[in-house]
Copies of this chain bind each other. A is one copy, B any other.
Amino acid sequence: MDRLETVDRQPEQIRHDVRTGAIAGQTSGLAPGFAQGNLVILPKQWATDFLRFCLENPKPCPLLAVGNPGDPSLANAGRNIDIRSDVPSYRVFRNGRLVEEIADIRHIWRDDFVSFLIGCSFSFEWALLNAGIGVRHIELGSNVPMYRTNIDCVSAGPFSGQFVVSMRPMKPADAIRAIEITAAMPQVHGAPVHFGDPLAIGISDLSRPDFGDSVPVKEGEVPVFWACGVTPQVALAEAKPPIAVTHSPGCMLITDIRDEDLLNGTFRFEAPAL
């Protein structure tokens, strides 16, 4: 990727600091203007179905990069990435059950591990804020509220489940502009999947999100729902592979991909042959 040659070294420096332990914890706000990614690592035997699951469900699982089996670099996402150490905290799942949360996975890395990097709403929130559209949970300094829904994913092998969505309340005129903006960013969840009545997508109580924090919906606002990167984690928990590794919530991989390139269509994901 020649384009990366001109990139600011900030993301690479932050990854280095994460690798050495100088930076730990959540990555929100680090390397502003650069995309962060949700991580899923699976053995090759499970990776083909998971790739298909992501490609069939691009709204909750928009792919930014996929690694070669056994290769801990992710060249399409940034220079000198070591996916075994460049995320501040990892979750290890065995048979669908969370067994440990660790800062480094070099000791459990395998020759058949395939890394999937999935786009994250931080990038479209960057675009919304740039357009002058307020994002409630950012204003409140809390996590975005997320909900399980009744919207079925397209199944692929053992991977199935329902969309998890994130919610941002907006006035209709802002929601229309937010739809226009995020529609242009398919690699980071794209346009919303719903707005208005939560019950229409199986959410019975907006004040009790399944993940993250509740935020108020003010007079004259409607809740707007985007497909969310927690969806693949729910699908993993259902599929119960013998081993899987993800990032810990909020502790993302910081990439060299510019949010701007996700907005103007310069960055494009090309599916690998697994």
A191 at the interface (CB under 8 A from B): yes
A273 at the interface (CB under 8 A from B): no
When the two chains form their complex, are residues A180 and B191 in contact, meaning their CB atoms are under 8 A apart?
yes
Within 8 A of B (CB), among A144-201: 172-173, 175-177, 179-180, 183, 191-197, 200
Return chain B residues, CB-CB under 8 Å to A193: 173, 176
Chain B contacts of A272 at CB under 8 A?
none
Report the minimum CB–CB distance from A85 to chain B (whole Å): 40
Interface check A220, CB cutoff 8 A: yes
In the assembled complex, the Cα of A197 lies from the Cα of B173 at a distance in Å of 12
| A196 and B180 contact, CB distance less than 8 A | no
Q: Is A105 close to B, CB under 8 A?
A: no
* CB of A222 closer than 8 Å to a CB of B: yes
* A196 to B171 CA separation, bound complex (whole angstroms): 10
A32 to B8, CA, bound (A): 51
A176 and B173 in contact (CB under 8 A), knowing A196-B222, A197-B220? no
Q: How far is the CA of A84 from the CA of B243 in the complex (A)?
A: 76
A116-138 CB mask vs B (1 if < 8 Å, else 0) is 00000000000000000000000
A220 and B200 within 8 A (CB)? yes
- On chain B, the residues within 8 Å of A197 by CB distance are 172, 220
Q: What distance in Å separates the Cβ of A225 from its nearest Cβ neighbour in chain B?
A: 9
Q: How far is the CB of A117 from chain B (nearest CB, A)?
A: 25
- Chain B residues closer than 8 Å to A176, beta-carbon distance: 179, 191-195
User: Residues of B contacting A194 with CB < 8 Å?
Assistant: 172-173, 176
The listed residue (B172, B177, B183, B220) touching A195 by CB distance below 8 A is B172
Shortest C-beta distance, A130 to chain B (Å), equals 17
Other-chain residue from B172, B175, B183, B222 in contact with A183 (beta carbon distance below 8 A): B183
CA distance A220 to B195 in the complex (A): 11
**Bound CA–CA A193/B191 (angstroms):** 17
Query: How far is A196 from B196 in the complex, measured between Cα atoms in Å?
Result: 8
The 8 nearest A-B residue pairs measured at CB: A180-B183, A179-B179, A172-B195, A172-B194, A172-B196, A176-B191, A176-B192, A176-B179
Contacts A173-B193, A176-B194 known; 7 new A-B pairs at CB < 8 A = A175-B195, A176-B192, A177-B191, A179-B191, A180-B183, A180-B191, A183-B183
20 pairs, A vs B, C-beta closer than 8 Å: A172-B195, A172-B197, A172-B200, A173-B193, A173-B194, A176-B191, A176-B192, A176-B194, A177-B191, A179-B179, A179-B180, A179-B183, A179-B191, A180-B180, A180-B183, A180-B191, A183-B183, A195-B195, A196-B196, A196-B222
